[in-house]
Structure 1
């Protein structure tokens, strides 16, 4: 069964530095590399690398890096026939600073990503798509159209509510599985501090549920991943690895999870698999290029 991703496609400019700059500070870059990125593209690559037939819907500029990005994504096994090339519109970009400890700071400009409309979604055939996956770097109206159409076809709808935007909360009732990190959870649940313990995460997550069948998954960095239902909560502990670049780790988790759920894997097993995939991804530079294959993840779990 397949995965359909609606999401952003960016050119990532990744600068490595010893220490991330503070406001008003200039620091020297150690290197600068260009990678394919964007949450949608990253998650689509992750799902495809984990073995799921994966379609990506999005938009890029026609006169800049867009066609090359599209070709690169196809090279990763992503079906890109639903990626539009737009004249007179720049491809989205992300400017990423990565510190020596693997931590990062990111500024994203939407470009062509903002041009995807509900009409584009309505013109797309969704038959046979087991899992629909989206994030908030695409217009909320387009995501809403996708999730409403998917509900009519019995698809599982996964929303990675990142970045944390006010309009994201309106999509929660249309979502079957909601994925957030601690910062995003605190924002949406209107908390003064990020929840850390499973009990705190569970309490905050249930505030965001509008149906008894919904699931909230909260990524906790090195601490692991918390999964919350109405009457159950469990923690999958993080795996200890040396992080080189954490950019795209959350996207790797989302794409790997969607791939596992597309073949009806049990939720706990799917989360364990996605957690391991994300741990592998932080050991390589870049976002899309760091997504591991299914064989690599299985070997990592067996080791």
Structure 2
């Protein structure tokens, strides 16, 4: 038990999680997700700017919502995805990867008039990264409210919202707003990963868009920087308390090489990272979210879910490519047995 945590409140949170993640007939939790499908092309070394001629690696199937969906499917979750690709080799690369790993891709449309989205990325020694995106005017940005069918989203147990998709354009925002309305009217829950991208939209506008989603969410998965964007508070724990005061019950702070901190009204859980050799950090946060939800759906406590998610994120960085390190449930369990 953590400081300030009382058994009664811990039990109340357990039952709240059970209500969200309990399934009839023992079926897997069904999660709805929507957003950008793209390929990622990256520098082969750190500290090389994108504007300098040199070597790039890829294309790799990517897009934050797609990475999340793929990882959750590999962890035995049931995932339904809405998105768009172009009728081109990049699009089919992403689509085939999702299908191979078990994602329900019936909500993905293939467009003749738009090419598949592309992201160019480079990393620097200080942990920062730079992107150049081809998204809003690519197939990735062609998601519209009519693509969000009520008959699909009333069947999900939880809707996972990606902030990066909300930042793309107005039609993507309207699509997610419709999905959230359908899910909440069906008395299902929402998880929210802000996934803030300053290359897509400024902080003030992002905060304006994110706050209504935050208030509809059961779980929020921010980084420390994103907590500051959401609340204006620099201290992560104080910022997390502000988020909890808006309605969410769990704030799982992704802290990269330091692991994660899970904050609830019942307690604070500081969970160290696992030691691994980092090859490519792309997508680790998306995989963390998938791991956390997969663990909760299997009946783990919030603290156990955070530790499991740390393991998923650790394994995700051990291979080059955003989806390449996404582990299976069995691989995560075997990894945890070593610690």
TM-score by length of 2: 0.79
More strand by share: 1
2:222 aligns to what SS in structure 1? strand
Task: Give the structure 1 partner of residue 303 of structure 2.
Answer: 268
The more displaced of 120-129 and 225-234 is 120-129
1:281 aligns with 2:308: no
1:180 aligns to what SS in structure 2? coil
Task: Give the structure 2 partner of residue 95 of structure 1.
Answer: 120
1:165-222 per-position Cα deviation (integer Å, ceiling 9, x unaligned): 232223111111111111111222224xxx5xxxx32211222345455322111111
Task: Give the structure 1 partner of residue 229 of structure 2.
Answer: 187
More helix by share: 2
The structural deviation recorded for 1:95 is: 0.6
The structural deviation recorded for 1:65 is: 2.2
Picking from 232, 239, 257, the partner of 2:267 is: 232
Task: Give the structure 2 partner of residue 176 of structure 1.
Answer: 218
Task: Give the structure 2 partner of residue 159 of structure 1.
Answer: 192
Task: Give the structure 2 partner of residue 120 of structure 1.
Answer: 147
Question: Judging changes above 3 Å, is the alpha-carbon distance between structure 1 residues 210 and 107 closer, same or farther for their aligned structure 2 residues?
Answer: farther
1:11 aligns with 2:39: yes
Question: Judging changes above 3 Å, is the alpha-carbon distance between structure 1 residues 247 and 67 closer, same or farther for their aligned structure 2 residues?
Answer: same
Tell me the distance in 2 between the aligned counterparts of 1:213 and 1:19. Answer: 38
Task: Give the structure 2 partner of residue 256 of structure 1.
Answer: 291
Task: Give the structure 1 partner of residue 82 of structure 2.
Answer: 57
Question: Judging changes above 3 Å, is the alpha-carbon distance between structure 1 residues 231 and 204 closer, same or farther for their aligned structure 2 residues?
Answer: same
Unaligned runs of 5+ in 2: 1-28, 166-171, 198-205
Contact 1:122–1:145 (CA under 8 A) maintained in structure 2: no
Tell me the distance in 2 between the aligned counterparts of 1:118 and 1:265. Answer: 35
CA RMSD of aligned residues (A): 2.3
Contact 2:214–2:248 (CA under 8 A) maintained in structure 1: no
Tell me the distance in 1 between the aligned counterparts of 2:292 and 2:173. Answer: 22
Question: Judging changes above 3 Å, is the alpha-carbon distance between structure 1 residues 212 and 135 closer, same or farther for their aligned structure 2 residues?
Answer: closer
Question: Judging changes above 3 Å, is the alpha-carbon distance between structure 1 residues 284 and 103 closer, same or farther for their aligned structure 2 residues?
Answer: farther
Question: Judging changes above 3 Å, is the alpha-carbon distance between structure 1 residues 143 and 261 closer, same or farther for their aligned structure 2 residues?
Answer: farther
Q: How many residues align?
A: 293
TM-score by length of 1: 0.88
* Greater RCO structure (CA 8 Å; 6+ sep): 1
Contact 2:296–2:302 (CA under 8 A) maintained in structure 1: yes
Task: Give the structure 2 partner of residue 47 of structure 1.
Answer: 72
Picking from 137, 156, 163, the partner of 1:129 is: 156
